[in-house]
């Protein structure tokens, strides 16, 4: 008789052990010759060495399955322990599985291009309108890389630019003022990582969410780094961000050119970066459009309506400009 301690580092115990510990009770029933005690992410086993080796191999398979699919059902446990392949749940296009076990996949041709670009490039710019899935897809790619142990951390950032309201007039301390700007990033992570595990990652700085200003002076290694809402960066800010890139790091920069909240006198750092970096080897540029919008169908109609309005306004400005030039030319010729 020997005793062994197995540490399941990556699991969410709530998912792994099941409701009312049902999954662990089933595992114990399938190994009647072993004495198994589980607390948190630590499993202690006492029994025959050969039986214990088989148990350890299968419990680690269950751990990997649970991490990948964010779920663990009784039929899956039985299949794995009895040596049968669990029912195929994964298609080639799945990025990760949500906390409910639902596959998160590219839902448009350009989202798929973003996934492929991330695989082949260390830096990707994803530009598109609201609802086109650029940020959500980027975060899914980062979560997959973390789960596959390709990186050690995820860093998500946004510029805290005031869109109509002033930070100084918002209630609370600086963190409370800034958190609303970062909430969309939290929302996406909560879809993909169980709450307890996400909190653990954040407590250990495995996942970091911070305003862009906090990136200054850092060198980011072994990470996926995402800059969201990059259209609201200044030239200096985006240059600072892009030059934080360290070894074994990938960066995704997302932005929407139709939602620039900077003062009209200030050039968007993203607009400038796209011009400057065009043609640089190792950088991919993916453009998403209205066809990629995966929110409510009204979002597509709203984006199209605003695009039409802005084109009409531009045409009107051009018309007035030509009229002014014509009047000036006529006046000068008379005099």
Tens digit of each residue's pLDDT, the chain (335 residues): 788 899 988 788 888 888 888 999 999 999 988 999 988 889 999 988 888 888 999 999 998 888 888 888 888 898 888 887 676 455 568 899 888 888 888 888 899 999 999 999 999 999 998 888 899 999 999 999 999 999 999 999 988 764 444 455 555 555 565 677 778 888 999 999 988 889 999 999 999 988 888 888 888 999 999 999 999 999 999 999 999 999 999 999 999 998 888 888 889 999 999 999 998 999 999 999 888 876 666 877 787 888 888 888 888 888 888 887 777 766 566 65
The long-range contacts involving 21-30, CB below 8 angstroms and separated by at least 24 positions, are: 22/74, 23/72, 23/74, 23/77, 26/74, 26/77, 26/78, 27/59, 27/62, 27/77, 27/81, 30/77, 30/78, 30/81
Domain with 309 in it: 296-335
Q: Is 274 found in the same domain as 245?
A: yes
Looking at the domain assignment, is residue 90 inside a domain? Answer: no
Beta strands of 160-301 (E only): which ranges? 207-211, 223-227, 249-255, 283-287
Do residues 225 and 157 lie in contact, with contact meaning Cβ atoms separated by under 8 Å? yes
As for how many domains the chain has, the answer is 3
Q: Is 275 found in the same domain as 319?
A: no
Question: For the chain, how many residues are written?
Answer: 335
Q: Is 269 found in the same domain as 134?
A: yes
Beta strands at 103-104 and 96-97: parallel, antiparallel or unpaired? antiparallel
Q: Is 144 found in the same domain as 289?
A: yes
Q: Is 284 found in the same domain as 154?
A: yes
What CATH number does the domain containing 34 carry?
3.30.1370.10
Q: Is 104 found in the same domain as 71?
A: no
Can you tell me the distance from the alpha carbon of 149 to that of 137, in angstroms, rounded to the nearest whole number?
19
Looking at the domain assignment, is residue 89 inside a domain? Answer: no
């Amino acid at each position: 008789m020997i005793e062994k301690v197995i540490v399941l580092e990556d699991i969410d115990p709530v998912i792994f052990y099941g409701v009312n510990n049902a999954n662990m009770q089933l595992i114990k029933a399938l190994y009647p010759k072993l004495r198994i005690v589980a607390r948190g992410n630590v499993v202690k086993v006492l029994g025959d060495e050969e039986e214990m080796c088989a148990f350890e191999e299968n419990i680690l398979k269950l751990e990997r399955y649970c991490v990948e699919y964010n779920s663990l059902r009784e039929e899956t446990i039985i299949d794995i322990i009895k040596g049968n392949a669990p029912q195929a749940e994964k298609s080639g296009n799945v990025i990760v599985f949500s906390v409910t076990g639902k596959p998160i996949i590219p839902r448009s041709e350009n989202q798929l291009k973003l996934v492929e670009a991330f695989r082949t490039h260390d830096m990707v710019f994803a530009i598109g309108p609201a609802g086109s899935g650029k940020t959500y897809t980027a975060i899914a790619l980062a979560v997959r890389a973390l789960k596959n142990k390709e990186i050690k951390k995820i860093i998500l950032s946004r510029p805290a630019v005031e869109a109509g309201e002033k930070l100084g007039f918002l209630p609370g301390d600086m963190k409370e003022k800034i958190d609303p700007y970062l909430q969309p990033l939290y929302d996406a992570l909560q879809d993909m990582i169980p709450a307890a595990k996400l909190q653990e990652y954040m407590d250990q700085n495995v996942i970091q969410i911070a305003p862009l200003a906090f990136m200054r002076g850092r060198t980011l290694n072994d990470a996926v780094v995402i800059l969201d809402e990059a259209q609201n960066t200044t030239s200096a800010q985006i240059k600072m961000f892009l030059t934080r890139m360290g070894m074994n790091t990938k960066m995704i920069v997302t932005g929407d050119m139709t939602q620039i909240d900077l003062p009209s006198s200030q050039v968007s750092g993203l607009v400038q970066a796209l011009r400057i970096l065009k043609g640089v080897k190792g950088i991919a540029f993916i453009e998403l459009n209205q066809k990629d919008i995966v929110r409510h169908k009204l979002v597509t109609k709203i984006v199209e309506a605003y695009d039409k309005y802005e084109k009409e306004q531009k045409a009107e400005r051009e018309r007035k400009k030509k009229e002014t030039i014509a009047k000036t030319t006529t006046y000068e010729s008379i005099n």
